[in-house]
């Protein structure tokens, strides 16, 4: 299969990935493009010119999403949207988000140059924000397109320096009135191609994964208050030790998660004690709890059991407990028909593939409750992402572009054959 | 008994405690006097003048320990030393250390004014440092007197701002050559009176505790290295989660300590994860372990079992473990004869007392391996110390002074009657 992929796609993809990674390049070889910062602005404008060079009609919306359009001959009201996000985490990799935009640009432009205008409109999108790295929200791009957010929500939020999202948006030349409203009601479907950010494909020696669900996520902060005391003069039975209580909770909850065997994951990534010195019993301890699964019922049951255990443990230890649920994103089931088409195309093409659940959040989960949506993964080497060490081999990346071309061909050029054989080879 | 204590002692003690607490008074009503800082200098010089007013001959040594001497008529080579430390933790209380100095000053001066010069020399000492709050060492005062440290060791150590102990010492007017060498070979015994810093006396409704042992302390930093990974895309069985491993260790070790029932205490006061964010499995976690008991064999056994469990847990979890023992202070048994005298005096005086082991470190543990040493506690309200909320009632503080006068009378005025009835009443 790899041999079938024209070397020209490989070269073009390689060059574009390196080109885009230069906007916000860090000393460690990573990329930092935070929403509306200088490097983000440079990247988004450079992408606009690049799209124009490649034959797209381009435009921004008022929150800074960039669109490159190839108009369909049937002039239907709704078109196909494909792309991903341009922002990164701090010192992130060059594939996360960027690859999905560039793959969509290459796939759409190549189809256009090979077959002319499609029957259905194809728009490539470079979404302004997904990572939540600068402001305390995520999915600002897809959220505004789908009506989950509106540009006017931006006044309430500020970054670490105290700058409001509104001021940052206007500083980058966007904001209400400067461009058309981001909300769209003319999207037939959304396709996103992304690196996996895990090792499932690599360990399973697969190249391609149509994604069936994106997990729901619940995130809690659990705050414990006991009593700070002298580590030498307080007998063990007179202690109300918040770190000990936290350790009992964390060890039990993570052990329970490991025993589920149903794909559930639970993580305590953050833990902090106060006063946090070696010779004082910490009176306070706070930890995060992140729970993910693709079924609400599983999330419900595990969260309930877990939090009940924490409360019981706190009670026994004479510790006050406060549980703050600050994120509750429901799982999203992606479009069944698009996935079946996807599976068939992969099978016909002889590409080693597997269906997957996505444990990470993606713009596709926002689109997934708004329009038929397909999310597809290519492997991540060692599962590393959000790091300068993020890497996917060029052959695998190219197969992704190839598969996206097949899907777009089916949907935009031969819509009546969605379940038939692909004419594009 | 309380009624027997002259009101004049109470008033004098109250006034002196408030007077000394004004040097380094904080916004929270606490006290901060760090070794050689401006407030420390003011306090130590003010104590010198106060001692002189009260009839003492005063002098500094080269590390800044202050001595107030009442010369004995027998002109013996060795004298009795009594006192405590003048430094505090950051935002500490007004009794820790300070009370021991002031009690010694009042007791000695009152005996002198009542009975004239003692037969044996009594020296009151305001030790320059015990807490370890500014430089990465503690017992700098008692350590220099007993030969554990020497002023020239100071070049190697720096505070958080990078200032060396030598420069700080010279900045405060001390250092080698400016005053006599701190080392002493003329100390017959050391007496220290201190607040308990725990609740044992208060809960047991006792006023006075002759201390039999000061616990040994071992402190470890345990550093775990697993693998940092995405909290959503890494299945539970592919994780090497350093926070989970730490939680397993901490919960087991503290539970074990609680089951010892032999006075052993173990504390994990400090815990830190890296990168310490909610949606990333922490690849690193580090925690402190503080273990205390007054018998080496118990410390040995518990440390061994504990660390073996940690190593085994790390191995099972595929986690690298590094165990750094950065403190190993052996337990100290205080002088048996002085303690027996002390117990008898308390019994005769009808004071509610109990023998105790000290779980906290004190200058007495440094003197305890150098000369016969007695350490005595008065209660700490709620066991609070190292805090502006540190408090001991004035009646209890005054009983402490009264008891110290009895001990000094026996040792310095009526040495032949050390085990007999006290003439001072």
Residues in chain A with CB shorter than 8 Å from the CB of B285 are 271
Residue A416: the pLDDT is 65
Closest by alpha carbon to B215, among B140, B327, B100, B77? Answer: B327
**B160 Cβ under 8 Å from any chain A Cβ:** no
Neighbours of B256 (CB within 10 A): 15
Residues B77 and B177 in one domain: yes
Q: How far is CA A248 from CA A306, B28, B239, B249, in A?
A: 12, 34, 19, 10
Instruction: Average the pLDDT over B199-205 and give the result.
Output: 95
Q: How far is the C-alpha of B291 from the C-alpha of B266, rounded, in Å? A: 4
Instruction: Average the pLDDT over B299-318 and give the result.
Output: 98
Residues A167 and A303 in one domain: no
Residues B105 and B187 in one domain: yes
Which of these three, B310, B329, B348, is where a domain ends? B329
Residues B206 and B128 in one domain: yes
Q: What is the CATH number of the domain that holds B275?
A: 3.30.70.360
Q: How far is the C-alpha of A417 from the C-alpha of A421, rounded, in Å? A: 7
Q: Give yes or no for a contact between B293 and B263, defined as CB atoms under 8 angstroms apart.
A: yes
**Chain A / chain B CB contacts < 8 angstroms:** 208
Residue identified by tokens 């405690």 is B17
Residue A35: the pLDDT is 97
Rounded to the nearest angstrom, the minimum Cα separation between A387 and chain B is 10
Closest by alpha carbon to A190, among A366, A61, A72, A342? Answer: A366
Strands B57-60 and B66-70: antiparallel
Q: Give yes or no for a contact between A154 and A169, defined as CB atoms under 8 angstroms apart.
A: yes
Q: Sign of the CA dihedral A133, A134, A139, A145?
A: negative
Option in B233, B277, B358 nearest A269 (CB): B277
Q: Give yes or no for a contact between B288 and A278, defined as CB atoms under 8 angstroms apart.
A: yes
Closest by alpha carbon to A284, among A198, A224, A336, A340? Answer: A224
Q: Which helix (H) or strand (E) holds A98?
A: helix A98-115
Residues in chain B with CB shorter than 8 Å from the CB of A276 are 269-272
The chain A residue lying nearest B288, using CA atoms, is: A278
Q: Residue B250: is its pLDDT beyond 60?
A: yes
Which of these three, A329, A351, A376, is where a domain ends? A329
Q: How far is CA B85 from CA A258, B158, B392, in A?
A: 52, 21, 18
- For residue range B355-401, list pLDDT tens digits in order: 999 999 999 999 999 999 999 999 999 998 888 999 999 999 999 99
Residues B68 and B183 in one domain: yes
A57 phi and psi angles, rounded to 5 deg: -85, 130
Residue B425: the pLDDT is 42
Residues B113 and B246 in one domain: no
The chain B residue lying nearest A245, using CA atoms, is: B251
| A422 in a structural domain | no
Q: Give yes or no for a contact between A379 and A202, defined as CB atoms under 8 angstroms apart.
A: yes
What is chain B's Cα-based Rg?
Answer: 24
Q: Do B251 and A248 touch (CB under 8 A)?
A: yes
B165 phi and psi angles, rounded to 5 deg: -60, -35
Which of these three, B329, B346, B364, is where a domain ends? B329
Option in B235, B246, B249 nearest A265 (CB): B235
Domain count, chain B: 2
Residues A210 and A220 in one domain: no
> Going by C-beta distance under 8 Å and a sequence separation of 6 or more, which residues neighbour residue B50?
B16, B19, B105
Beta strands in A48-163 (DSSP E): 57-60, 66-70, 79-85, 122-127
| A140 in a structural domain | yes
Option in B230, B237, B249 nearest A258 (CB): B237
**What range does the domain containing B67 cover?**
2-214+331-417
Residues B104 and B252 in one domain: no
- pLDDT class of B105 with cuts at 50, 70, 90: very high
| A423 in a structural domain | no
Residues A368 and A405 in one domain: yes
Q: Give yes or no for a contact between A319 and A225, defined as CB atoms under 8 angstroms apart.
A: yes
Residues in chain A with CB shorter than 8 Å from the CB of B230 are 197-198, 359-360, 383, 385-386
Residues in chain B with CB shorter than 8 Å from the CB of A270 are 273, 276-278, 282
- pLDDT class of B421 with cuts at 50, 70, 90: very low
Q: What is the CATH number of the domain that holds A348?
A: 3.40.630.10
| B424 in a structural domain | no
Q: How far is CA B155 from CA A237, B40, B165, B169, in A?
A: 43, 20, 6, 10
DSSP-assigned beta bridge partners for residue B218: B291, B328
What is B245-284 written as a DSSP string? HHHHHHHHHHHHHHHH-SS-EEE---EEEES--TTEE-SE
Neighbours of B106 (CB within 10 A): 22
A53 burial via Cβ count (<10 Å: 0-12, 13-18, 19+): exposed
Q: Which A-chain residues 345-374 have CB contacts (< 8 A) with chain B?
A: 358-361
> Going by C-beta distance under 8 Å and a sequence separation of 6 or more, which residues neighbour residue B300?
none
Q: How many Cα atoms sit within 13 Å of A9 on the Cβ side?
A: 27
Q: How far is the C-alpha of A98 from the C-alpha of A130, rounded, in Å? A: 11
| B359 in a structural domain | yes
Residues in chain B with CB shorter than 8 Å from the CB of A309 are none
Closest by alpha carbon to A102, among A46, A63, A172? Answer: A46
Coil, strand or helix: which one is B17? Answer: helix
Q: Which of B240, B247, B384 to mutate to test the interface with A (most CBs of A within 10 A)?
A: B247
Q: Which B-chain residues 225-264 have CB contacts (< 8 A) with chain A?
A: 229-238, 241, 243-244, 246-251, 254, 257-258, 260, 263-264
Residue A154: the pLDDT is 84
- pLDDT class of B76 with cuts at 50, 70, 90: confident
- pLDDT class of B136 with cuts at 50, 70, 90: confident
Residue A369: the pLDDT is 95
Q: Give yes or no for a contact between A35 and A124, defined as CB atoms under 8 angstroms apart.
A: no
Residues A10 and A136 in one domain: yes
Residue B154: the pLDDT is 84
Residue identified by tokens 């005063």 is B58
Q: How far is the C-alpha of B308 from the C-alpha of A389, rounded, in Å? A: 35
| B89 in a structural domain | yes
* Cα three-residue angle B255-B258-B259, rounded to 5 degrees: 90
B131 phi and psi angles, rounded to 5 deg: -75, -25
Residues in chain A with CB shorter than 8 Å from the CB of B254 are 241, 244, 247
**A200 Cβ under 8 Å from any chain B Cβ:** yes
Neighbours of B395 (CB within 10 A): 15
Option in B233, B285, B292 nearest A232 (CB): B292
Rounded to the nearest angstrom, the minimum Cα separation between B272 and chain A is 6
DSSP-assigned beta bridge partners for residue A126: A66, A84
Q: Which of B279, B313, B362 to mutate to test the interface with A (most CBs of A within 10 A)?
A: B279
Q: Give yes or no for a contact between A205 and A348, defined as CB atoms under 8 angstroms apart.
A: no
| Residue B411 in tokens | 């040792």
- For residue range B18-62, list pLDDT tens digits in order: 999 999 999 989 999 999 999 999 999 999 999 999 999 999 999
What is B356-382 written as a DSSP string? EEE-S--HHHHHTTTS-EEEEEE--GG
Per-residue pLDDT of chain A (425 residues; tens, 9 = 90+): 444 567 899 999 999 999 999 999 999 899 999 999 999 999 999 999 999 999 999 999 999 999 999 999 998 899 999 999 999 999 999 999 999 999 999 999 999 999 999 999 999 999 999 999 899 889 999 999 999 999 888 888 899 899 999 999 999 999 999 999 999 999 999 999 999 999 999 999 999 999 999 999 999 999 999 999 889 999 999 999 999 999 999 999 999 999 999 999 999 999 999 999 898 899 999 999 999 999 999 999 999 999 999 999 999 999 999 999 989 999 999 999 999 999 999 999 999 999 999 999 999 999 999 999 999 999 999 998 888 999 999 999 999 999 999 999 999 998 765 443 444 44
Residue identified by tokens 């108009």 is A71
Residues B322 and B378 in one domain: no
Residues A204 and A230 in one domain: no
Residues in chain A with CB shorter than 8 Å from the CB of B217 are 232
Residues in chain B with CB shorter than 8 Å from the CB of A282 are 269-271
Looking at chain B, how many residues does it have? 425
Residues in chain B with CB shorter than 8 Å from the CB of A271 are 243, 271-273, 276, 285
Closest by alpha carbon to B113, among B24, B12, B257, B43? Answer: B12
Does a cis peptide bond (omega within 30 degrees of 0) precede residue B99? no
């Amino acid at each position: 299969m790899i041999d079938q992929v024209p070397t020209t796609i490989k070269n073009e993809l390689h060059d574009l990935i390196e080109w885009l990674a230069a906007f916000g390049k860090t000393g460690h070889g990573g990329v930092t493009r935070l929403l509306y910062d200088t490097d983000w602005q440079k990247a988004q404008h450079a992408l606009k010119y690049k799209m124009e060079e490649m034959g797209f009609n381009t435009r921004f919306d008022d929150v800074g999403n960039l669109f490159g359009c190839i108009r369909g001959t049937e002039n239907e009201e709704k078109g196909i949207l494909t792309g991903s996000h341009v922002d990164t985490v701090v010192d992130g990799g060059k594939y996360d988000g960027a690859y999905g935009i560039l793959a969509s640009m290459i796939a759409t432009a190549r189809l256009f140059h090979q077959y002319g205008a499609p029957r259905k409109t194809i728009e490539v999108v470079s979404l302004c924000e997904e990572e939540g790295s600068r402001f305390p929200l995520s999915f600002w791009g897809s959220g505004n397109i789908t009506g989950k957010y509106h540009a006017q929500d931006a006044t309430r939020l500020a970054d670490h320096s105290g700058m409001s999202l509104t001021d940052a948006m206007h500083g980058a030349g966007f904001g209400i009135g400067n461009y058309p409203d981001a909300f769209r009601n003319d999207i037939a479907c959304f396709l996103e191609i992304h690196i996996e950010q895990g090792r499932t494909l690599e360990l399973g020696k697969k190249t391609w994964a149509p994604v069936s669900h994106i997990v729901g996520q619940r995130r809690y902060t659990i705050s414990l208050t006991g009593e700070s005391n002298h580590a030498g003069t307080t007998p063990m039975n007179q202690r109300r030790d918040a770190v000990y209580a936290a350790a009992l909770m964390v060890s039990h909850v993570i052990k329970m998660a490991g025993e589920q065997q149903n794909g559930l994951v639970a993580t305590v990534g953050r833990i902090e004690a106060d006063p946090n010195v070696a010779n004082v019993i910490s009176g306070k301890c706070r930890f995060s709890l992140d729970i993910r699964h693709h079924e609400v019922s599983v999330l419900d049951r595990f969260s309930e059991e877990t939090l009940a255990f924490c409360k019981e443990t706190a009670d026994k230890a004479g510790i006050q407990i406060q549980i703050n649920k600050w994120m509750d994103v429901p799982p999203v089931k992606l479009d069944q028909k698009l996935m079946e088409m996807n599976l068939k195309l992969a099978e016909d093409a002889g590409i080693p593939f597997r269906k997957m659940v996505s444990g990470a959040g993606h713009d596709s989960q926002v689109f997934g409750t708004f329009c038929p949506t397909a999310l597809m993964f290519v492997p991540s080497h060692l599962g590393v992402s959000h790091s300068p060490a993020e890497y996917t081999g060029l052959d695998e990346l190219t197969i992704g572009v190839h598969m996206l071309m097949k899907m777009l061909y089916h949907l935009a050029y031969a819509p009546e054959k969605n379940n038939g054989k692909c004419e594009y080879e």
